[in-house]
Every structure is written in structure tokens, then in C-alpha cells.
Structure 1
């Protein structure tokens, strides 16, 4: 839904940036507060939070946000989602931009409310049925207590034990049913709808979040039963991917909202579990290579899953190995130095690992192990890896460049040759090129604002701040556009952003 400007303005006026910070993370400095900046490796607080200006600004990143921008960035929300989130906090009525959007919003709201009521009723019904069903015998046989069954709202329907699937707020949005006989499929999930999307749901996060934040560690398993059984043994930083593969989006959201620094993948020891682990590593290795996550693998004993080992799981967890060690051992596990084919196969596997590793300790470890096992070190060039901080810094510089291009005609010649790498900024630049081709140079900012209103909602929200920045940012740019230009170009011309600058290598 596109929001009415009155709603956006009310949220900007009433939502206080200071409310978005925990007091323990703030240091009083005169009339303002200081905190560590989340956008760069901040060893001392360089993020200034001004209650008077209702604005947070990092003097190192030259990046500032109001309450909407902060919630949007920290919670991974779209602009509209952040506005509605804050509107709820401050009891501000949400209005749609026009009658069509208002009608659509009301229809969606009613549909979601109806589905939440339906799921709540279903859970109550299923939970009541569990106590007089064969499902209870099954759960008790798997060593769940009655207290745990009740705590997790596990129920029964037909021939299936029903596990409620909850959103991060703890609201039931769907179910996974496990059959008790040999019927197929063994597990069956609810159909996707307005409140449940299988590909986005992480099972158990609503209960695990607090422990994850306290330990900075999360254990990811394959199944709901693993999570529940481990929770019963007070291992409560465990989640599961619910009937889908682990995705980068899931982890990005998890990192953003829980500050987790170590991920332990704990999948079953069978062939299916090994394949699931490999898929997950492919999704997560970028985070590990950038130094954002300590990615570890816990290999379960054959035929056992985490639930089977719940009572000794904390001890098993200590045996989790680095993802690089796991990949290396998998690559060379069938090595036979008397068999040329086996040697070649192992060497190819080791080369694939070295191809993705930059210079550093992990790469040196693989090289040492390769020399021990293969009696030689494959000749592979180190990979070049950007940290997430560098990626974010370059993306932010590209945003500054586009915003300045729209706001200040005098700076446009200096910005015209930039090659944008952020997909959203690429789309913004395409729109600008089309508008300039239509002779809209003098009215470019207004024309851009009109065009993006017709785009898909999330993209429109993302690009709207380029032509309509918050007042404090607009004042800074208008007061000294040359300084804004120099700040953006200094980053774009740096080595980590050289791909954005066609003149860098000339």
C-alpha cells in the first residue's frame, strides 16, 4: 500500500529517534547522545543522536537517518513497513495515498485479521485434541514432557501431530503436520497465504531470539522436533528451516535483528543432511568470508538427529568445526594416494575451496592441510572479498550520488560517468537517463518523483528518499552541495568501490 503523505509526515514529526535506542548503548555528550555506528567498524562511538533535530548521524560514514530510516535499516523493513511499524508505536492513524490503495489496504487488513483468528482457533482445537490421541503417545515416546507439549502448543489433527508455525511476534501463521504412519508425505505444511510464506519462515525464532541475542550464537537444524526437544533440555538458541532451504535473506534478517555472530549448522548425518549442509554453506559462505559470521558445522553421528542427542547436545556442540575444515575433509575423505583418479578428484575439490578464499588464516590452513594430504599445494589465486561494511559503504555512496544528481544541477557533470553496482541505483539511473532523453533536465527531480510512484511498492519506497530526503539531509545538501559531492566521490573512487568508477583503472 502507498501511504498518504500526511501519515508519513506525522510519523516523522512524532517518532523520536532516541526511542529507538537502548539507554545502555547511549552516552550523553552535551545536548546530544553518542553510540557506536552500525555501518562501519566503530571502535569508539561516532554516531551522534540529536533529540533536538530528531536525527542520527555518523560523522565517519557521512550517513544520517531519522526514526523511520533507523527502523527500516535495523529491522530490514521497507519504507512503508517502517512507517506503519512506527505509526503503531505512536498510535498514528495509517492512511492510504488514494481510495484505490485504501480499499486494497483495508481488504488486506481484513484478510490478515481473519487468517490470524482462523489460525488461533485451529491451534486451540488441535491442542485440545492432543491429550486424547495417538499423537500424545508418540510425543511422550520421543521424550517430550506434557509441559513442553503445552508450551509449544503442539496438537493433533487426523493422523498428524501438528506443530504451530509462528511469526517473530509469536502469532500462529500456519502448521506443519507430521504423519504417524507410513503415509506420504511425512511432513505437510500449510499453504502459502497472506500471513504465511514457507520460504521466509524460521521455526522457533520467537522463543529463541532472547537466548540468541544473549549468546550471539544460533544453532540451525532441519526439523521442528529438534528445536522443541533441545529447548526442553535448556538449549534454547536453536531454530529450524521449516520445510524449505536456508536462504541468505533468512540469515540477513537474523543477523540484523539478533546481532548473531556465530552460526552452527546441525543437520542429520544421512545423505540428505549432508546435501542440506552443502546448500546452506553455499548460501552463508559470503557472510563468513566477509568476517561477519563464524560459520561452523556440527556433523551428527550416522542415523541420529539432534533430538536423539538432546541430553548431550551441549558437549557435541563443542565439536563443531569451521565450514572450511568441513569442506576440506569432505573433499579429501576418499583420497587414495595410489589412485590417480582419487587424487585428481580430491585436488579439484581443494581447488574449489581455495578459489573462494582470500588471503588470510583460513586460506593458509587449507594450504597446510593440502600439503599434508595431497603432498602438494594447488596453485590457485586468492579471491578478492568485500566486507559487508565495504559493500554498504559503496551502496550508500551511490545513493548519495543519485540523490545529489537529482537535487543539484551543477554537480551533474561530475556524476554523469559513474557506473552503478547497486541494483536499485541502477534502476534509478535508468529512469534518470530516460527522463533526460525526454528533455526533463530542469524538472528532473519532480519528474523522477512522479515516475517512481508507478513502480512496485517496495522499490518506489526505496527510491522516494532520493528525491524527497528528510529535512535535515536536504538542508545539509543544499547548504554545501560541493561537500556532498566530494564525500560521495571519495568513497566511489576508493579501491573497494573501484567497479563504480570507470576512470579508476585508466
Structure 2
């Protein structure tokens, strides 16, 4: 358990912009910051970060909160894990009690796998630093590649002994479960049940996810053993914590440099990344020879919109540069291609040049991707069919670019370079765009039909009483449709009331009111809402909203109490999440146009919302009476009583409507 004092120290030290910037590329937007939301497919920045309030919020998917909420959601951590992550970031010591055996059993499988991987990473590093074979074989290999010790440590490289059970025996002796050694892929079972180390005799490259946790490993056979071997590298298999199409090697070490440079270099292999870091170029990641996935593209796009594909100068390297590019273009990425001199890869080239020389070579030789593709596909092609296919592939790439101006610019340049009519290229591009749109619509229709079939299979038929007269039944059905919308409106008003409690809960809006005992009192926002609603025993539908209002009233008279700060840092993670979502505005006016809320303006808004909320309750009560009338049958006495109750409720509803100036259709 982490005590409250430590939690407070962590929350006081946290800078929300600093934390979010670990995972999202942010740009200044007035007093706030904006970026692409990391929680959904976001093409235009909808993720807002408020440094003044210490919160973040996506106005598209609704996710956000304070720094703890963000880390929990992004990294799939528990509340204590997120606090530990923040504490480590800000060098805050946490003293915790030892977990009991029962508490250890309750730890999630995912966290257990991360723990095993973290131990394995330390084990491999220790072997390379302290075991005679580790030093003589593993470290000597890295040094032969020209890697300095500080770079080896930076990437936490290691070595696995050649014995097929060395690591697994050490892990079991430390108390780690065999189950997680297999689930992480560190070990596998042979047909006879024998437990075997996956990486024995290999140098080790740990994969760190974007938050620095070890999610996987790559193991490479040493040069003397790779002759005739098909599989020089062995990587971790897919697992609960590692999906190869969602990770990029070196992203954790590169993310700050990517944001600073507003550009990322994409290479193929581990050693390319490590060598470029040693050369002084740190904004580099590798996809490890696999085709780029949409997950990886979107992950990179959170940090930058500019990417340089940096590959070998041979045919394989050029082919690699062509893969996955349409996905990059469709996500609005700006792509450059840099093909190194034939015979060089990023690893060898960076060992021959300084960072200044390397960067100068990049600036002098990088090419816009469409220009590169055009030159590459049409070089030496004279056959009309092959030429038309190549041009179609180029136009296809242009068609996926979301920005129309950029598309038009590319087509104009292609028209000049290819000596073709621009109109022909535009017509071809539009066919691609229409085809993609039709395919998406067909897929949406197929998905809708699948959902409809699923709903039909699971839906239960509703029984409607036929005892009520048909004319009454038709009126009630129409009213039900209107009132279902009223229910949604009531929930929105409830949310707005709690927003006022969070943002202004301690602010006085009524002064010098006479209490029942004759004394004079002042009422804050939270006190007024609580007092007004409690007169009729009204409570919020959302249980957490009731807790927020209750706590705001309870703490209202404490010196220095500020509702917003109190709820943002609330120990209940759900309450702090709500406070984060409701405490930030999507749009910020400039300083010259913004108007600070006054007690009068806050009072007017709160009283209007309370009246509106009461109006919604009357609407729901009318709906309940209508439902009772539908099922009452032929009991005329009961019908008369319900109709009388309906009229009385209508009177109250109409009075509230007039009081707040609402236009409402009164049922006669």
C-alpha cells in the first residue's frame, strides 16, 4: 500500500504536460496543449492537455483525467502501478509493505509477465558483465561491432549462455513460475515436456515498450554461427504483453529526440538503431524487417508527422522502403526516402561517419517519397503495359493522401514528370478514391448486417398489454419516444451540474440568506445545489456524482478548499477521472476575449441548471404515469387516479418550464 502523504507528494511533483509528452507529441494551443489522442484513431488533434489544471481530455472519445488516469489508461496499469511509474519518473521514494502470498496471487497475469521479463533482462545483462563466457563471447561481439559500453548499457543489451536450461534454472531458483517463463516466450517446451531456453547462445536485444517496460526480446546468433543458418534472429512470440505489429524497436529511447527534432528515421534492424544512437542520431526506430502495420504508423504519428525511410542501397533495401508507405500516406505522414550507398546499411554507414556528416548526407540525399517511387518504378521501363501499371501504382499512393491540396500538388508534378495529361491522372485518382469509399461502405454494411443478425439472435420479444384502448396506446407510444430523449437530456443536465460543482464548488453565489433559525448564511455552488435538491429528496442518478456533491459540501468550509484541485487529485481513481473529464474546456478564447465567470454569472447558470434538472424529473414522472396507464387494464378507478396525478404533475412541469423560459408542448 502507498500512503496518502506519498500520493500527495507524487501529485504535487507531476507535470501533466511532461507526462503526456512521454507518449504524445504536443503542440502549444493558447494556454493549453494539443495532440493526437493515443486512445483512438485520431487524424486531427482532439486531445487537450491543461497544465494549469493538471488534466487531459479527448473531446472525441472522452478519455483522459489527471496524470495517474492517463498512465493507467495508456499503459493498462493499476492505480498503484501508475503511482509507482510517476514516482520513479520524479525520483520520489515509495516505502511499501511486503506483499503477502495472497496479494501476490492477485497480481494480474500481465504484470507477472512484465516482472519476469524485467528479471530476464537483468539476468542477461549480468551474464554479459560478470560471467566469463558472457564477457568473452557476448561483450566481445558487441565491441567487435564497435559499440561502446555506454551504448550497450543504454539499450540494456545482454547475453544468454549456450546451455539450453541455464536461464530457466536460474529463474525457477528465484521463485519465478514456469507458467510465465513459457507465456513470455523466454522458454518453450519440447514434445517430451523438457523446458528449453529460447535464446541460448545468443546476444540479447530487449524490446522496451513506449513506457520503458520490457515487452519482448530479440536474440541473435553470433557471426561464427550464422553461416548457412536461415534464422539469425529469434524474437519473442506473440503474447499478452507483446504484439509485434504494435511495437517499434528503440521507440522508448528515441521518443524525446523524435519530438524535439519533429522527425523520425525508420530503419530495419536492431544494430542500425544502436549504431545511429552511438553516432549521435537518436530519433530512430526499427520495424525489424517486417512490414509496417497501421498500429505502428499511428503510434509514430503521435510523436511526429515527418518520417524518413532509411534503408540499404541494395534491391532488398529499396523493396523494404516501398512497403507500408501507403499506410503512412493515408495517415497524413510526410515521407522522405534515403537510400544509402550500395554496400552500406545504417549500421555500417553510421560507424564510418560523424553525426554531422550523417545529417548532412541525409539533407543532401533524401527524396520525397512520390518522387522516389516515380523514378524507381519508371526507370528503364518502355513497355506500355508495365508503364501504365507503374503509373497506376504511383497515382494509387497519391489517392490515399487525406490532404486534397497535397494530392493536387503531387498530381501536377507527376503530370509534368510523366508527360501525361493532368486530367487523366485526376480521373484515375478519383476512381481509386471512389473504389476505396465503396469498399468501406460495403464493409460497413456487412458489419451492420452481422450486428443485426447478432441482435436478432439475442433479442427477447417484448410483451405489450392490449387491455388499454388503441387510441390511448398510440398516444403513449408517441410520448415514449419524446421522453426517451428527455431522459438523455436529464443525464446531460446532471453532468453539467456536477461540472459546476467541480469547477466552482467552493465559490459563494448567495450571500446573507436567512436560515430557518433566523441566522444569516452564505451558500456556495455545492451548498446551493445540495440544499435545493434535498428539499424534495432528489438525488443524482449517477452514484459517483452524489459522492462528489456530498464531499464538496462536507469540505466546503475548510480553509483553502478548492473543489477542482481536491477532486482532480482524489484518491478514488474514478472520481479523479470524472474531474479530469469535466474540468477542461475544449476551446480557449484568447486573453483579450476571455471573460472570467463572476458570482452573478455562475449563480444564473447554476439556478437555471437546477430548474432544468427538476423539469427533467417531472418529465420522467409523467413518463412513469403513462407507463402505468398502459398496463392498468379496465380498472376505471385506477385510471382516474392516475389521470389526476398526471394533471397535477403537468401543472408543476409547466410552471417549471415557464420559470426557465422553455418552450414545451403541453399535452391536453
Please point out which of 418, 423, 438 is paired with 1:373: 418
- Judged with a 3 Å threshold, the aligned counterparts in structure 2 of structure 1 residues 84 and 284 are, in CA distance, closer, same or farther, namely farther
C-alpha distance in structure 1 between counterparts of 2:426 and 2:144, whole Å: 52
| 1:344 counterpart residue number | 388
Where 2:121 maps in the other structure, the secondary structure is helix
Is the CA contact 1:350–1:370 (under 8 Å) kept in the aligned structure 2?
no
Cα deviation code 1:353-378 (max 9, x no counterpart): 44335632443333333333344443
| 2:291 counterpart residue number | 245
| 1:274 counterpart residue number | 318
- Does residue 307 of the first structure (1) align with residue 347 of the second (2)? yes
Compute the displacement of 1:234 (Å): 0.7
Where 1:380 maps in the other structure, the secondary structure is helix
| 2:202 counterpart residue number | 160
| 2:525 counterpart residue number | none
- Does residue 175 of the first structure (1) align with residue 217 of the second (2)? yes
C-alpha distance in structure 2 between counterparts of 1:481 and 1:332, whole Å: 71
C-alpha distance in structure 2 between counterparts of 1:433 and 1:17, whole Å: 53
Where 1:121 maps in the other structure, the secondary structure is helix
| 2:151 counterpart residue number | 148
- Does residue 298 of the first structure (1) align with residue 333 of the second (2)? no
- Residues 93-242 of structure 1 mapped to structure 2, 5 A cutoff: 105-128=107-130, 132-157=135-160, 158=162, 159-179=201-221, 180-181=223-224, 182=227, 183-242=229-288
C-alpha distance in structure 1 between counterparts of 2:212 and 2:60, whole Å: 37
Is the CA contact 2:313–2:341 (under 8 Å) kept in the aligned structure 1?
yes
Compute the displacement of 1:383 (Å): 5.3
C-alpha distance in structure 2 between counterparts of 1:123 and 1:194, whole Å: 24
| 2:646 counterpart residue number | none
Where 2:308 maps in the other structure, the secondary structure is strand
Where 1:21 maps in the other structure, the secondary structure is helix
- Judged with a 3 Å threshold, the aligned counterparts in structure 2 of structure 1 residues 17 and 261 are, in CA distance, closer, same or farther, namely farther
| 2:65 counterpart residue number | 67
Where 1:304 maps in the other structure, the secondary structure is coil
- Judged with a 3 Å threshold, the aligned counterparts in structure 2 of structure 1 residues 75 and 280 are, in CA distance, closer, same or farther, namely farther
- Judged with a 3 Å threshold, the aligned counterparts in structure 2 of structure 1 residues 161 and 478 are, in CA distance, closer, same or farther, namely farther
C-alpha distance in structure 2 between counterparts of 1:103 and 1:367, whole Å: 64
Where 1:239 maps in the other structure, the secondary structure is strand
Is the CA contact 2:55–2:66 (under 8 Å) kept in the aligned structure 1?
no
Cα deviation code 1:423-453 (max 9, x no counterpart): 99x979x87997796589999999xx9xxxx
C-alpha distance in structure 2 between counterparts of 1:481 and 1:296, whole Å: 60
- Judged with a 3 Å threshold, the aligned counterparts in structure 2 of structure 1 residues 309 and 114 are, in CA distance, closer, same or farther, namely closer
Cα deviation code 1:240-279 (max 9, x no counterpart): 12354322212323333xx323111112233332333222
- Does residue 77 of the first structure (1) align with residue 77 of the second (2)? no
TM-score, L = length of structure 2: 0.47
| 2:408 counterpart residue number | 363
C-alpha distance in structure 1 between counterparts of 2:346 and 2:254, whole Å: 16
Compute the displacement of 1:230 (Å): 1.1
Is the CA contact 2:311–2:340 (under 8 Å) kept in the aligned structure 1?
yes
- Judged with a 3 Å threshold, the aligned counterparts in structure 2 of structure 1 residues 21 and 209 are, in CA distance, closer, same or farther, namely closer
C-alpha distance in structure 2 between counterparts of 1:481 and 1:49, whole Å: 36
- Judged with a 3 Å threshold, the aligned counterparts in structure 2 of structure 1 residues 360 and 190 are, in CA distance, closer, same or farther, namely same
C-alpha distance in structure 2 between counterparts of 1:138 and 1:118, whole Å: 20
Structure 2 gaps of 5+ residues are: 1-6, 37-42, 88-93, 97-101, 163-200, 434-443, 465-479, 492-541, 543-576, 584-605, 616-668
C-alpha distance in structure 2 between counterparts of 1:384 and 1:306, whole Å: 39
| 1:35 counterpart residue number | 32
| 2:515 counterpart residue number | none
Where 2:335 maps in the other structure, the secondary structure is strand
Is the CA contact 1:175–1:190 (under 8 Å) kept in the aligned structure 2?
yes
Is the CA contact 2:264–2:304 (under 8 Å) kept in the aligned structure 1?
yes
C-alpha distance in structure 2 between counterparts of 1:316 and 1:38, whole Å: 31
| 1:401 counterpart residue number | none
C-alpha distance in structure 1 between counterparts of 2:95 and 2:140, whole Å: 50
C-alpha distance in structure 2 between counterparts of 1:196 and 1:125, whole Å: 24
Compute the displacement of 1:229 (Å): 0.9
Compute the displacement of 1:107 (Å): 4.7
- Judged with a 3 Å threshold, the aligned counterparts in structure 2 of structure 1 residues 383 and 171 are, in CA distance, closer, same or farther, namely same
Cα deviation code 1:209-239 (max 9, x no counterpart): 2211211111111011111111111111111
Q: In the comparison of the two structures, how many residue pairs are matched?
A: 391
| 2:562 counterpart residue number | none
Is the CA contact 1:217–1:263 (under 8 Å) kept in the aligned structure 2?
yes
- Judged with a 3 Å threshold, the aligned counterparts in structure 2 of structure 1 residues 68 and 86 are, in CA distance, closer, same or farther, namely farther
Is the CA contact 2:370–2:394 (under 8 Å) kept in the aligned structure 1?
no
Please point out which of 343, 367, 376 is paired with 1:330: 376
Is the CA contact 1:55–1:64 (under 8 Å) kept in the aligned structure 2?
no
C-alpha distance in structure 1 between counterparts of 2:610 and 2:263, whole Å: 41
